[in-house]
Amino acid sequence: IQYKFPEGFWWGSAVSATQIEGAADIDGKGPNVWDYWFEQEPNRFFDGVGPANTSQFYYKYKEDIQLLKETGHNSFRMSISWSRLIPNGRGEVNQKAVDFYNQVIDELLLNNIEPFVNLYHFDMPQAMYELGGWESREVVAAYAEYASVAFDLFGDRVKKWFTHNEPIVPVEMGYLYGSHLPDTVDFHKAVIAAYHTMLSSAKAIEKYREKNLDGKIGIILNLTPSYPRSQHPADLKASTIADALFNRVFLDPSVKGIYPDDLVELIKAEGFMPHIEAGDLDTIFNNTVDILGINYYQPRRVKAKENMPNPYAPFTPDRFFDYYDMPGKKMNPYRGWEIYAKGIYDILINVKENYGNIECFISENGMGVEGEGRFLDENGVINDDYRIDFYKDHLKWIHQAIQEGSNVKGYHVWTFMDNWSWLNAYKNRYGLVAVDVHGDNSRTIKKSGKWYKQLSDNNGF
């Protein structure tokens, strides 16, 4: 074994409620924005497939937890569906949901798989969306209440909690680039939503600490490195701004308790400051995270603005930089994303050097493949060697970061089994386990799933 990982390294994968549970309107679950949006505009979704048609984990969790074992998991990141637990977002708790999550958590523990539980993965309850979603402080309060309910119900057994997954994504996709609700372009509202999401995270952490539970709480961020085209000051400036807008906007307040000065200056200069109530900044300052989850897929490459922005177009971050199409970059041949494994090392070293080497783990990393059925062999197994290579390449860089002192404690791939994705539905497959999504939902471990078991058994490769 050439790459050995520290004792007790977490080998796992990540999923989210909306993407795997199915049973979207069963057993008292309230609608969330994805159920609602699909009903409104089914054709915006890939192949007209909506969130009700996911991998049916709600019914198959026992079988799936056996598959977690068979693929070497010692940890598993899942999320709770807010609108399943509290159908209207606030108020009455749905006992059927309590039973379901209790069963899942207990079954995981029985199988020696540590649950990492995330409270919010893009799935705003519809009732909360109608109140204004993250634009509304009422929703911040309701979210903190929901978090508190979840800690009371499951905090005796769940020892790793996360407040949000990729909180920048609903902000950018909902308020800048139109692929989440509210599907608008409004920079000021984006800033407000981002600020409220951050505040909600700190308020949930505050609730958690009040309860003196024995566990850790953190946040999961997609820390996309923003690489400049060159070392020219104008390119460097472009990359610093992109880094502030997409990474440090959540990373700094989550870990250090304060917003970065350059970001605040920029937002002020553009006249987009959100309303800050007395006490808010103390709440953020006093409730930083214990642990950081890091999702990484591909970098952002930027250059100084070359084209004048259209003065009539709505204000978006592209005012400050252009995207840079680097010649010769390595692409995923089965989906148009760049593959740059060293990015994961750069993130870990940044966290080590500039964020107090806080305890962290890779909470998502993976390779989506379109038309993966073509790799099916005569035994009915997907031969996804490209995915094994992708993991190895990233793990080598994680190993290197550990040699240099990074406090990274585990690796969770995206994802356990093929699942439904926001707007793309089942177009890109990521799983260690294949799901016959258009048939009977049967599961088959892919070659990568078998390899993952060896990886975990050997604690390296």
Residues annotated as part of the active site: 364
Within 267-306, which residues bind ligand BGP (CB under 6 A)? 295
For residue 45, the minimal CB distance to ligand BGP (Å) is 12
Task: Quote the Cα angle for 310-315-316, to 5°.
Answer: 105
Among 126, 226, 239, 421, binds ligand BGP (CB under 6 A): 421
φ, ψ dihedrals at 295, nearest 5°: -100, 135
- Measured from the CB atom, the residue of 173 and 395 that comes closer to ligand BGP is 173
Among 368, 410, 431, 449, binds ligand BGP (CB under 6 A): 368
For residue 165, the minimal CB distance to ligand BGP (Å) is 5
For residue 282, the minimal CB distance to ligand BGP (Å) is 30
User: Is residue 414 a contact point for ligand BGP (CB under 6 A)?
Assistant: yes
Residue number with the smallest Cβ distance to ligand BGP: 421
Contacting range for ligand BGP; rule: CB under 6 A; set: 72-80, 243-251, 394-402, 417-425: 417-425
Strand partners, 79: 118
- Measured from the CB atom, the residue of 240 and 419 that comes closer to ligand BGP is 419
Residue 305 backbone class (left: φ over 0; alpha: ψ -120 to 50; beta: rest): beta
Contacting range for ligand BGP; rule: CB under 6 A; set: 73-81, 165-173, 226-234, 350-358: 165-173
User: What is the biggest distance separating any 2 CA atoms in the chain, rounded to whole angstroms?
Assistant: 65
- Measured from the CB atom, the residue of 200 and 421 that comes closer to ligand BGP is 421
Other C-beta atoms lying within 10 Å of the C-beta of residue 349: 17
Among 166, 172, 243, 372, binds ligand BGP (CB under 6 A): 166
For residue 295, the minimal CB distance to ligand BGP (Å) is 6
For residue 16, the minimal CB distance to ligand BGP (Å) is 5
Contacting range for ligand BGP; rule: CB under 6 A; set: 40-48, 85-93, 162-170, 188-196: 162-170
User: Is residue 13 a contact point for ligand BGP (CB under 6 A)?
Assistant: no
User: Is residue 424 a contact point for ligand BGP (CB under 6 A)?
Assistant: yes
Spatial distance between the Cα atoms of 366 and 412, rounded to a whole number of angstroms: 9
Contacting range for ligand BGP; rule: CB under 6 A; set: 111-119, 258-266, 306-314, 420-428: 420-428
Locus of tokens 């309107």: 25
For residue 98, the minimal CB distance to ligand BGP (Å) is 24
Among 55, 165, 197, 247, binds ligand BGP (CB under 6 A): 165
Residue of 211, 77, 85, 190 lying closest to 143 (CA atoms):
85
- Measured from the CB atom, the residue of 226 and 428 that comes closer to ligand BGP is 428
User: Is residue 21 a contact point for ligand BGP (CB under 6 A)?
Assistant: no
Within 167-196, which residues bind ligand BGP (CB under 6 A)? 169
For residue 419, the minimal CB distance to ligand BGP (Å) is 8
User: Is residue 16 a contact point for ligand BGP (CB under 6 A)?
Assistant: yes
- Measured from the CB atom, the residue of 280 and 372 that comes closer to ligand BGP is 372
SS3 of the chain = CCCECCCCCEEEEECCHHHHCCCCCCCCCCCEHHHHHHHHCHHHCHHHCCHHHCCCHHHHHHHHHHHHHHCCCCEEEEECCHHHHCCCCCCCCCHHHHHHHHHHHHHHHHCCCEEEEECCCCCCEHHHHHCCHHHCHHHHHHHHHHHHHHHHHHCCCCCEEEEEECCHHHHHHHHCCCCCCCCCCCHHHHHHHHHHHHHHHHHHHHHHHHCCCCCEEEEEEECCCEEECCCCHHHHHHHHHHHHHHHHHHHHHHHCCCCCHHHHHHHHHCCCCCCCCCCHHHHHHHCCCCEEEEECCCCEEEECCCCCCCCCCCCCHHHCCEECCCCCCCECCCCCCECCCHHHHHHHHHHHHHCCCCCEEEEECCCCEECHHHHECCCCCECCHHHHHHHHHHHHHHHHHHHCCCCEEEEEECCCECCCECCCECCEECCCEEECCCCCCCEEECHHHHHHHHHHHHCEC
Within 36-65, which residues bind ligand BGP (CB under 6 A)? none
Among 32, 428, 448, 456, binds ligand BGP (CB under 6 A): 428
For residue 378, the minimal CB distance to ligand BGP (Å) is 29
- Measured from the CB atom, the residue of 237 and 335 that comes closer to ligand BGP is 335
Contacting range for ligand BGP; rule: CB under 6 A; set: 53-61, 163-171, 201-209, 267-275: 163-171
Residue type for 437, please?
V
For residue 120, the minimal CB distance to ligand BGP (Å) is 11
- Measured from the CB atom, the residue of 148 and 200 that comes closer to ligand BGP is 200
Write out the residues near ligand BGP by the rule CB under 6 A.
16, 19, 165-166, 169, 222, 295, 364, 368, 414, 421-422, 424, 428
